[in-house]
Every structure is written in structure tokens, then in C-alpha cells.
Amino acid sequence: MVIKSAVVPVAGYGTRLLPATKSQPKEMLPVARKPIVQYVVEELVSNGIERILFITGRGKNSIENHFDHDPELFRMLAEGKKQDLLQEVDFERLKTNFFYTRQRLQKGLGDAVLCGENFAGEAPFLVALGDSILGLNALSRAVAHMAEVYDDRHASCVIAVEEVPRGQTRHYGIVQPEKSGDGVFRVVNLVEKPRPEDAPSNLAIAGRYIFSPVIFDMIRRVKPDARGEIQLTDAIQLLCDEGRRVVAVKLSSEERRYDIGNFPSYFESFVEFALADPEYGPGFRRALERLLGKSAATA
Ligand code: UTP
């Protein structure tokens, strides 16, 4: 089955990126030339997604504006013969329908996904975090592969996972594979942000999930955590506890996840994407080498 619908939660506060996120969504921060959420949309479209529901919140209007038609800007670019730029901002060309709904209180990712229940209906759907890019320039086929696995394995849930250094497990949701954690494998347990010594593996959930609609019943059963948030990981754990098939797909190194939720990872992602820019990358590389040479000389 081809997965046609995606829910993209973008309602979080982004407190780890303050003050940058005081009055703009973290999902709109640029990585090289484009806002993060544009990479996410382009990745989903190239993987066959035709309907995207953004779960937004207060202060997130710029996301809607970004994907909206802007007649004045379009006219100006057309008159100025700037066809290439016009292409870049014309999202009609993507042949995708955008929908928006609000999460009224930021009660966690699980609660945000629950806001997509009517939109998803009876069909399986994708959840893609709006602050995570898969693959350099979002050139990832992982979602299409996950959809195949969903069918082949008769799964209730398919999760993208990636290896992280052992010492960093406390920043991620970590899965426990049934057997070996290679390629495609069944998950029997999930632990949210474990200490390295308690982590059942070094395989972290990587911001893309395919769910059967049964996930909504599970989310409703989840109790809020100590911070009052409904965690999506807890709902997936309930799927595992009920013996339903939760399957992980390990991302290849070319499909690595760029997590923009914290400054170190945001800085690194920006630099990597800027270095890969066909026009400005080579000059940027020289500037960076100069800077690095300077800092080595003064060290
Ligand atoms: P994060 O876990 O990074 O949460 O969300 P956050 O609240 O944005 O970040 P910090 O911890 O305050 O820095 C992962 C994705 O889920 C969305 C976020 O917008 C982000 O894209 N999210 C999170 C929601 O839509 N609603 C929520 O209640 C929480």
C-alpha cells in the first residue's frame, strides 16, 4: 500500500533553541537556503505523500504563509525574469494538498499526533517531525521503504531508527530489537531518553513513523509523564505490549537524520548543507578553512 497522508507536528515550543525561537517557529529556521520544514515537505512529496496536515500552535503562522500562494511576490519575480527563484517558491508545483490544525496546549508529541485523527481516517499514515531532515538535502527514500515494510510485515507501526553514540542515548527514544538490530527488525520495547548504562541498544527513533489508525486508541490510553506530556513513545510501547507488530527500519548513513532541535546539531547541519551548496559551497569551504586555520594558529 502506498502511504498518501502525512501528519507533521510543528507545535512544540522549541525551548532548546531560544532565543532564536522566541517569535519564530524552529521549523522555519533556515538550513543553508531553505527553512527546515520545506526540506521535510520536499522529502515527503518525493516519497509519494499527497496530503500533509501540519499540527501547528500559537506563533506558527509563518509556516502556513510559507507554503501559501503569494501573488505579489510571484508577479514581481515573473516581471523580473527570475524564473529560477519563482520555481523555488511555487509550492503548487508539488501537487500536494496542505491542511492545518492547531494543538491548543503543547501537551507532547503523542497529543499532537492525536490532533490528526480525523484527517487520517481509516488509512495508515506517516508522522514526520517538522524539525528533522532525512538525508543531505532531504534526498531520502526511507519513507517509501518504510511503507513497503509496513505491508510486507503486516505491521501496526514502522519506525525509522539510526545508530547514535552510546554516550548520547539520553537525548533520544531508544528501541530494543527482538534479535539483531540490522536492516529491518521487530521492536519489543522502547525506552525514552535512557542513561547509556540502561539503554537496550544505541538505535534511536529518527523522526519518521508509519502508523495504523490503532495508534490513536493507544495515545488515548497513555498517562501524562512528569512534565504533563503525552509521549508518542509510550503509545508505541502499548502496541508492543499488546503483541502488535512494531518494526524498525535502520537508516543508511546517506539517509542520516539531521535533528534541528538543539544548537550543536543545528550548527552542524547548517554547515554541512552550506558546504554542499552547488553555487556557494566551494567559497564557503575556503572561508571555513581560513577560519579554522586562524583558530588553529591562535590555539
Ligand atoms: P520536541 O520533542 O523537540 O519538542 O518536538 P519541542 O517542545 O519543540 O522542543 P523543546 O524541548 O521545547 O526544545 C519534536 C517535534 O514535535 C513537535 C515539535 O514542534 C517538533 O517538530 N511537538 C512537540 C508538537 O507538535 N507538540 C508538542 O506538544 C510537542
The predicted-structure confidence for 46-88, as pLDDT tens digits, reads as follows 999 999 999 999 889 999 999 998 889 999 998 888 888 888 8
Mean pLDDT of 262-285: 96
Measured from the Cα of 56, ligand 1's closest atom is 25
Grouping H, G, I as helix, E, B as strand and the rest as coil, residue 31 is strand
Candidates 3.10.310.30, 3.90.550.10, 2.40.50.140, 3.40.50.300; CATH matching 5-261: 3.90.550.10
Per-residue pLDDT, 182: 76
What is the 3 state secondary structure string of 210-231?
A: EECCCHHHHHHHCCCCCCCCCC
Per-residue pLDDT, 5: 97
Per-residue pLDDT, 181: 67
Confidence of residue 231 (pLDDT cuts 50, 70, 90): very high
Pocket test for ligand 1, best of 109, 114, 230 (most atoms within 8 A of CB): 109
Please tell me the distance between residue 19's alpha carbon and the centre of ligand 1 in angstroms: 16
The residue among 171, 190, 169 whose CA lies nearest residue 247 is 190
Per-residue pLDDT, 299: 67
Say yes or no to pLDDT of 243 above 70.
yes
Predicted model pTM: 0.94
- Tell me the domain boundaries of the chain: 5-261, 267-299
Please tell me the distance between residue 276's alpha carbon and the centre of ligand 1 in angstroms: 28
**Atom 25 of ligand 1, nearest CA residue:** 11
Q: Amino acid identity, residue 68?
A: D
**Continuous H helices in the chain:** 36-46, 61-67, 71-79, 83-89, 109-114, 117-120, 142-152, 215-221, 232-241, 263-275, 281-298
Please tell me the distance between residue 288's alpha carbon and the centre of ligand 1 in angstroms: 32
Q: Buried (b) or exposed (e) across 158-196, using 16+ Cβ within 10 A? A: bbbbbebeeeebeebbbbbbeeebeebbebbbbbeebee
Measured from the Cα of 105, ligand 1's closest atom is 28
Measured from the Cα of 130, ligand 1's closest atom is 21
CA distances for 237 relative to 84, 123, 159, 175, 188, angstroms: 47, 21, 12, 10, 8
The predicted-structure confidence for 16-54, as pLDDT tens digits, reads as follows 999 999 999 999 999 999 999 999 999 999 999 999 999
d(CA 197, CA 208): 26
CA angle at 262 for the pair 257 and 265, rounded to the nearest 5°: 45
Per-residue pLDDT, 1: 66
Lowest mean pLDDT among 73-82, 108-117, 284-293: 73-82
Tell me if 114 sits within 8 A of 220, measured CB to CB: yes
d(CA 171, CA 265): 12
Name the grid cell of 4. 498518501
Q: Amino acid identity, residue 78?
A: A
Measured from the Cα of 17, ligand 1's closest atom is 13
Q: Which residues line ligand 1 (CB under 6 A)?
A: 9-16, 27, 55, 103, 106-109, 111-112, 129-131, 261
Name the grid cell of 265. 546539531
Please tell me the distance between residue 109's alpha carbon and the centre of ligand 1 in angstroms: 6
Place of cell 481516517: 121
**Atom 3 of ligand 1, nearest CA residue:** 261
Tell me if 205 sits within 8 A of 173, measured CB to CB: yes
Tell me if 193 sits within 8 A of 224, measured CB to CB: no
Measured from the Cα of 11, ligand 1's closest atom is 25
**Atom 4 of ligand 1, nearest CA residue:** 12
The predicted-structure confidence for 156-177, as pLDDT tens digits, reads as follows 999 999 999 999 999 899 999 9
